[in-house]
Amino acid sequence: MARTASLSGFPEWLPQERLVELHVLDTLRRVFELHGFSSIETRAVETVGQLLRKGEIDKEVYGLSRLQEDEEEARAAKGDHHALALHFDLTVPFARYVVENAGYLSFPFRRYQIQKVWRGERPQEGRAREFTQADIDVVGDGELPFRYDVEIALVIAEALSALPIPDFRLRINNRKLAEGFYRGIGLDDTAGVLRSIDKLEKIGAEKVAELLKSELGASDEQARLALSLATIRTEDTSFVDQVRALGVSHELLEEGLSELEQVIEAAVQRAPGKVLADLSIARGLDYYTGTVVETVLVGHDQLGSICSGGRYDALARKGNRTFPGVGLSIGVTRLVSRILSQELAAASRSVPTAVLVALNNDDSWTGAQDVAAQLRARGIATEVAAKAEKFGKQIKFADRRGIPFVWFTDDDGKHQVKDIRSGEQTDADPASWSPPAEDLNVRITTA
């Protein structure tokens, strides 16, 4: 069970909890690299102007200043776009990184990035002030083929499937589909419609219809059609016929339908049961231009989205060059917190160590280090006891630490190893002995 952090919103893990987090991080790295994504790391600090260039809420941004800063400097920093602040996501720093390093990157550039971010919002389950994100993106120079939208969804489905988490669904929509549909029914304020539709799960269809009519001037028929689109959810490409059955036509709508159909069609083949065409999804109104994704754990809807993102045709600009991209971001800390709080997975032991080399006496320490070196050379995590206490105490120490094996060497140089769980003790050679495969490394077991 995860502990309550002493400083709200800044989680810390016990050693066995950290092993679960490391398993999640290592799994994501492995899957991302198998698909050819290169790891980058950007600085934790950006200028305020850079962080707020997309109109983000500045009250959520943590400013950076010296403790000894005088009052005049502090007042100037509050309105200074050159003042420094901690990044609140990884996309804004990545956009800067692409612009500054465009001459050194090969496009399309495939990147993954796993780092801490900081966001000054009210802490609650699934939301922290300091948390780890894992992002993958593909960025082009001038253009980016739509096939990458399909690939990104499949990579994320594979990565999440490899984690010790409950079943999940990638809920996918397409901004072109939604905007084309709204224009086709005569609602030109597409961003306003999307904002209203985004509230559907929170306030219900009746209140959303009232918003569409009172704030956007929609007729009863326009509100009905907008809500009819938002209620379409399919696990296959049948959503295409359902949309067309609504009798709306627009060039942008057809383009979005085709793109979403390609994503869902590929997912049905390569990630069956993991992807859902959900035409209610509306996110990043001033950001995303095509595919949009939100991911939920089945049966854990109150946790919110654990992975989100989509296509942005202008991630960054440099002169007359535009860098379009598509990417998704996994909330690692949100996932790990849920895994621990619900006891969905646990480490097989609390330390990496598989063997403790016991001491006969203080003079045997050097020999014990030789044994440990031979074991470590073959990838066996090994500690040497610090004191030559009675063997019973050394065994209890290993047991308390969660170390499964204790190594003994007598005065004649004979070696034995004891499995302290079963009590079995056998002869062993430090040059060839290995623990059973299941004990060599810490394993993450699921409930």
What DSSP line would sit under 187-241, residue for residue?
A: ---HHHHHHHHTTHHHH-HHHHHHHHHHHH---HHHHHHHHHHHT-EESSTTHHH
How far is Cα 387 from Cα 390, in angstroms, rounded to an integer?
9
220-230 and 175-184 helices, crossing angle to 10°: 160
Beta strands in 65-108 (DSSP E): 84-86
* pLDDT, mean of residues 59-71: 78
How far is Cα 283 from Cα 332, in angstroms, rounded to an integer?
20
Q: Name 45's bridge partners.
A: 86
Token digits of residue 434: 């290995």
110 is in an annotated binding site: no
Lowest mean pLDDT among 118-127, 128-137, 220-229, 242-251: 118-127
How far is Cα 122 from Cα 105, in angstroms, rounded to an integer?
38
How far is Cα 42 from Cα 133, in angstroms, rounded to an integer?
13
370 is in an annotated binding site: no
Name the helix (H) or strand (E) containing 417: strand 415-419
137 is in an annotated binding site: yes
- Phi, psi at 86, each rounded to 5°: -80, 140
Q: Which residue, 140, 136, 133, 175, is CA-closest to 152?
A: 136
Q: Which residue, 252, 256, 264, 189, is CA-closest to 226?
A: 189
316 confidence band (pLDDT: 50, 70, 90): confident
119 is in an annotated binding site: yes
pLDDT in tens, 191-204: 889 889 888 888 98
124 confidence band (pLDDT: 50, 70, 90): confident
Q: How far is CA 293 from CA 54, 56, 159, 305, 308, in A?
A: 19, 20, 15, 9, 5
Q: Where are the alpha helices (DSSP H) in 271-390?
A: 332-341, 365-377
Q: Name 331's bridge partners.
A: 133
Is the CB of residue 11 less than 8 Å from the CB of residue 5? Answer: yes
Sign of CA dihedral 242, 248, 253, 258: positive
Return the residue matching tokens 């003079």: 363
Q: Which residue, 212, 326, 219, 234, is CA-closest to 279?
A: 234
Residue 67 CB partners (closer than 8 Å, separation 6+): none
pLDDT value at position 1? 45
| pLDDT of residue 3 exceeding 70 | no
How far is Cα 55 from Cα 53, in angstroms, rounded to an integer?
6
CATH number of 355-446: 3.40.50.800
Return the residue matching tokens 């005049």: 72
| pLDDT of residue 109 exceeding 80 | yes
Residues in the chain: 447
410 is in an annotated binding site: no
Beta strands in 25-120 (DSSP E): 38-39, 45-47, 63-64, 84-86, 109-118
Is the CB of residue 9 less than 8 Å from the CB of residue 128? Answer: yes
Return the residue matching tokens 């995303």: 288
| pLDDT of residue 59 exceeding 80 | no
Q: Which residue, 391, 393, 373, 392, is CA-closest to 383?
A: 373
pTM for the predicted model, two decimal places = 0.91
Lowest mean pLDDT among 56-70, 216-230, 306-320: 56-70
Say how many C-beta atoms besides its own lie within 10 A of residue 23's C-beta.
19
Give the start-to-end residue ranges of the domains of the chain.
Answer: 15-40+89-346, 45-86, 355-446
| pLDDT of residue 366 exceeding 90 | yes
pLDDT value at position 375? 98
Token digits of residue 58: 């500045």
Return mean pLDDT, the chain.
92
How far is Cα 189 from Cα 93, in angstroms, rounded to an integer?
30
288 is in an annotated binding site: yes
58 confidence band (pLDDT: 50, 70, 90): low
127 is in an annotated binding site: no
CATH number of 15-40+89-346: 3.30.930.10
| Radius of gyration (C-alpha) of the chain in whole angstroms | 27
| pLDDT of residue 274 exceeding 90 | yes
Return the residue matching tokens 């509100």: 223
